[in-house]
């Protein structure tokens, strides 16, 4: 049994901090309609959480190879960035939780599978220095579900990844968080995720506090070592 305390919280961005999934859906639907494909619930569920190379390759395949995967990646980001520039909506409970973690002086990092352009748009909407570090898909060799982005964030914060708590909503992200060795709070949307060691599942972030997160971290850490 471990008595180690939590050192940091690592936030996913899309679908966890900001309600960006509708923007991605609009962009995906618009882009694929150009190639005669109706973007379905299955397509969205398959692509949610990325990473972008996977989405680009999938779109290229659906389009019969009419354009390269790299084109679909870049065009998708361009369409999403256009929407981001008009304003963003935070996920229910996310801003309140961020403020509570700041008040509790718990270090935070933002860890996203999205490009730096979109990450910086989200960070700009929060108080300066909310996140000590931020990781985009351009900062790692391999994006989620590989754990590299979470390991890099912990390194930037100077903390042990096993003493970090990750907040994630997608299967890709939850897989990355668990593979890194962190404790994960999963808030799955659209997809379902089976119970797992070091994983605490919730329907949303509403009412979640810094004290709640500390308690969840301790509980999941201890159960993982028993």
The domains of the chain are located at: 8-19+89-225, 21-84
pLDDT at 164: 98
β strands within 29-121, DSSP E: 108-111
pLDDT in tens, 42-95: 999 898 877 889 999 999 999 999 999 999 999 999 999 899 888 889 999 999
pLDDT in tens, 185-209: 999 987 788 889 999 999 999 999 9
3-state SS assignment for residue 109 = strand
Strands 199-201 and 108-111: unpaired
Q: Per-residue pLDDT averaged across 1-24, rounded? A: 87
Q: Please choose, from the candidates 130, 156, 171, the residue with its C-alpha nearest in 3D space to the C-alpha of residue 48.
A: 171
Q: Is the pLDDT of residue 214 over 50?
A: yes
pLDDT at 30: 97
Minimum mean pLDDT range among 100-104, 122-126, 128-132, 197-201: 122-126
Q: Is the pLDDT of residue 23 over 70?
A: yes
Confidence at 226, pLDDT banded by 50, 70, 90? low
The C-alpha atoms of residue 174 and residue 183 are separated, in whole angstroms, by 10
The C-alpha atoms of residue 167 and residue 14 are separated, in whole angstroms, by 11
Q: Under a CB-based contact definition with an 8 Å cutoff, are residues 137 and 148 in contact?
A: no
Q: Is the pLDDT of residue 156 over 70?
A: yes
Q: Is the pLDDT of residue 4 over 80?
A: no
Integer CA distances (angstroms), 118 to 14, 76, 112, 221, in order: 10, 12, 9, 33
Q: Which helix (H) or strand (E) holds 11?
A: strand 8-11
List % helix, strand, coil for the chain (3-state, nearest 5).
Answer: 45, 10, 40
The C-alpha atoms of residue 31 and residue 122 are separated, in whole angstroms, by 23
Calculate what percentage of the chain has a pLDDT beyond 70.
98
Minimum mean pLDDT range among 44-53, 122-131, 134-143: 44-53
Q: For 8-19+89-225, which CATH class? A: alpha beta
Q: What 8-state DSSP symbol labels residue 4?
A: P
Q: What 8-state DSSP symbol labels residue 14?
A: B
Mean model confidence pLDDT for the chain = 93
Query: CB within 8 A of 113, min separation 6: which ones?
Result: 14, 49, 50, 51, 52, 137, 143, 144, 149, 172, 173
| DSSP letter for each residue of 124-169 | TTS-TTSSSEEE-GGGSSS-TTSTHHHHHHHHHHT--GGGEEEEE-
pLDDT at 1: 38
This prediction has a pTM of 0.85
Q: Is 93 left (phi over 0), alpha (psi -120 to 50) or beta?
A: left
Q: Is the pLDDT of residue 2 over 60?
A: no
The C-alpha atoms of residue 65 and residue 34 are separated, in whole angstroms, by 13
């Amino acid at each position: 049994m471990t008595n180690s305390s939590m050192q940091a919280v690592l936030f996913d961005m899309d679908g966890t901090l900001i309600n960006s999934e509708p923007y991605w859906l609009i962009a995906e639907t618009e882009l694929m309609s150009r190639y005669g494909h109706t973007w379905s619930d299955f397509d969205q569920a398959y692509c949610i959480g990325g990473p972008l190379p996977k989405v680009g390759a999938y779109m290229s395949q659906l389009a019969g190879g009419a354009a390269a995967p790299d084109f679909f990646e870049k065009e998708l980001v361009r369409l999403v960035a256009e929407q981001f520039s008009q304003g963003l909506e935070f996920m229910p409970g996310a801003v309140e939780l961020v403020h509570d973690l700041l008040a509790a002086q718990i270090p935070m990092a933002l860890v996203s599978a999205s490009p730096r352009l979109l990450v910086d748009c989200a960070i700009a909407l929060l108080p300066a220095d909310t996140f000590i570090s931020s990781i985009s898909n351009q900062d790692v060799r391999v994006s989620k579900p590989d754990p590299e982005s979470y390991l890099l964030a912990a390194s930037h914060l100077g903390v042990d990844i096993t003493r970090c708590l990750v907040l994630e909503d997608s299967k890709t992200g939850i897989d990355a968080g668990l593979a890194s060795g962190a404790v994960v709070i999963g808030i799955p949307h659209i997809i379902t995720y089976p119970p797992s060691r070091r994983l605490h599942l919730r329907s949303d972030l509403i009412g979640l506090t810094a004290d709640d997160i500390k308690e969840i971290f301790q509980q999941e850490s201890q159960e993982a070592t028993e």
